[in-house]
Amino acid sequence: MAHHFEIYKDKAGEFRVRFKYNSEIMFSTEGYASKASAKNAIESIKQNGPKAEVVDNSDA
């Protein structure tokens, strides 16, 4: 599995989502009170991510 979303519970008991590519964590979300909310976050990322623009602040 080269890349995937992973839902897990953090130490505070909240559900979080992380995206892994070749076992490396690329990003992680905020904590959610329910697993359903974490799953909604994944769907939002899948739907809106490809349309997102890139903002380069590296010259600032």
Domain ranges for the chain: 3-48
Among candidate residues 24, 18, 21, the one with its CA nearest the CA of residue 1: 21
Structure tokens of 23? 């076992």
Confidence of residue 2 (pLDDT cuts 50, 70, 90): confident
Please report, as a single letter, which amino acid is at residue 60: A
Residue 60 binned pLDDT confidence (cut-offs 50, 70, 90) = low
Q: What is the pLDDT of residues 7-41, one digit of tens each?
A: 999 999 999 999 999 989 999 999 999 999 999 99
Q: In what order do the strands lie in the sheet with 24-28?
A: 3-9, 15-21, 24-28
Is the domain defined by 3-48 classed in CATH 3.30.160.160? yes
The pLDDT of residue 43 is above 80: yes
Euclidean distance between CA atoms 32 and 41, whole angstroms: 9
For the chain, counts of helices (H) and of strands (E) = 1, 3
